[in-house]
Amino acid sequence: MSAMAAPGSGTGSGGASRPLLGNLAVLAVLALLAGALLTLHGGAWWPAAPQPSRWWLCALVVVAYAGTSAVFLWPRRASLPDTAIAGEPPLLVVWASQTGFASALAERSAAVLRDCGGNVLLLPLDQVDAGRLADTRRALFIASTTGEGDPPDHALHFLHETMRQSPALPRLQYALLALGDREYAHFCAFGRQLDEWLRGRGAQPLFDRVEVDNADEAALRHWQYELGRIADSADLADWSPPAYESWRLAARELLNPGSQGAPVHDLALEPATGTLPTWQAGDIAEIGPRNPPARVQALLDRLGLDGGARLSATGGEETLAALLARSQLPEDIQALPGLAPDALAAQLRPLPHREYSIASIPEEGRLRLLVREMPRADGSPGLGSGWLCRYAPLGGTIDLRLRGNPGFQPPPAERPLILVGNGTGIAGLRAHLRARIRAGARRNWLLFGERNADRDFFYRGELMEWRAQGWLERLDLAFSRDEGDGAYVQDRLHAAADILRDWVDAGACVLVCGNASGMAPGVDAAMAQALGEERRDALRIEGRYRRDVY
């Protein structure tokens, strides 16, 4: 991993003075050497050559000059990432900050990627131009908005120069964290402007823009969650762990036995105490996972510790085994044997949360999730899905926190609604359909895709009933592994381009939920082909084209 440039490097008095000081130092050394060389000449010193016995001193001067030059030139070379030197662009982390919060988040994001073995270049936005973006393959932008929708002062050059250009950026994949304050009329205006400019240049979002209202910790956790996916590391500790509440796992059902894909479970949860809280269709459940009990016990056995030991840090309310269950287990245990339970507990970090679209609305009386088991690289169950689908006992406690998802909230009931999704993305779409039915809104069109109709048609009974009752005006299905089908959900949307235009003309909103790497780009392309890129982008700006993709 090569060194990262510090925030603001090359700008301000500190960045500007370094080259000047280096040049002055070199000139001073040269002046001293020139004076010393005068003594090497004899007689008429100007035309005379050095005495033969002094040639070795001349050689020494040349070496000293070369060495001095290298000292001042080397730091500039060393500050570049190794991959940049080798011709392979690093992952670019760019910040636009007025108060320093965005730059601090950029530094932290870069550190996360660096610690996972990534090659990162950290720069302020004023040091980024169209050429650098064209040469970059992946970039993260952390952009704040100041005043009434203005960019930070140092970002004005990028706004007035680079953003007025039209560079083609089809090879750039990016993610954007927009910081703002909803008390202002133009919330996250500069972040949104930057996002639309990047999309307009052909850049592809790794995931949809994350907007942060006044340093909201939940939104920042979501950003970190996505960073873990970029870094291909599922075990990053949360910057600020969620304040979980206790829920009870009331039911769990395997929906696709015999499927070509991984098992998918429908889960129902209820508050362990108190009444059911409220949430909106499109909101997210943050889950606090647990390590498998057998893995925790194996570690305790190797360390010779009693899992029932009470920990003084929690006032004796938690056992060592319980803490280990919700903590990242140490991989290197060579230095751990002999530690007391409290000493071991002090070295542990909490497990990162997992996020799932909520499949129900509060009026149903339960919170429902649709979870696919996701294996790790070694084939073992994934952290979150393994806990929810395999290890959490029925009737047992689940740590859960509700998180609002403003970018995927229900549109007005009077507008027609087009829902597009695949796989477990149907969870978020089901919640929207339930909300529409409750509101009496019948102009709903669902496009859903999976592998096989006989195994992977999640919520088949409900959807077919809603279709028969008129709550679904149109239902288009795509089962890619069925003989005679082979289509994907984006193919169905493309085939219905005329109908899509009619619905959009009638004021329809489009909600997309599901896979970010295959389905979502395909649906986006189908939208652009049917409507034109300009109209598709206008829908996004108006809030009529929203996505929750992962």
pLDDT in tens, 195-220: 999 999 999 999 889 999 988 888 99
Whether residue 86 is predicted with pLDDT greater than 50 in this model: the reply is no
User: Which tokens is 224 given?
Assistant: 């970190």
69: confidence class by pLDDT, cuts 50, 70, 90? very low
Q: Print the SS3 string covering 412-447.
A: CCCCCEEEEEEHHHHHHHHHHHHHHHHHCCCCEEEE
Work out the mean pLDDT of the chain and round it to a whole number: 85
Report the distance separating Cα 130 and Cα 72, nearest Å: 29
Lowest mean pLDDT among 62-76, 189-203, 262-276, 481-495: 62-76
pLDDT at 543: 87
- Phi-psi group of 126: left, alpha or beta (phi > 0 → left; psi -120 to 50 → alpha; rest → beta): alpha
pLDDT at 81: 39
Looking at the chain, the whole-number percentage of residues with pLDDT higher than 70 is 84
Mean pLDDT of 39-44: 51
Closest CA to 121 of 139, 102, 144: 139
32: confidence class by pLDDT, cuts 50, 70, 90? low
The angle subtended at Cα 129 by Cα 124 and Cα 132, nearest 5°, is 95
pLDDT at 378: 87
pLDDT at 79: 33
Find out whether 180 and 144 touch, Cβ atoms under 8 Å: yes
Q: What is the DSSP letter of 352?
A: P
75: confidence class by pLDDT, cuts 50, 70, 90? very low
pLDDT at 71: 42
The pTM assigned to this predicted structure is: 0.74
Whether residue 511 is predicted with pLDDT greater than 90 in this model: the reply is yes
Looking at the chain, the whole-number percentage of residues with pLDDT higher than 90 is 60
**Which contiguous run of DSSP H or E holds residue 287?**
strand 284-288
pLDDT at 147: 73
Whether residue 435 is predicted with pLDDT greater than 70 in this model: the reply is yes
Find out whether 238 and 352 touch, Cβ atoms under 8 Å: yes
Find out whether 375 and 260 touch, Cβ atoms under 8 Å: no
Closest CA to 2 of 70, 77, 87, 79: 79
Lowest mean pLDDT among 334-348, 367-381, 478-492: 334-348
Buried b (16+ CB within 10 A) or exposed e, 493-512: bbebeeebeebbeeebbbbb
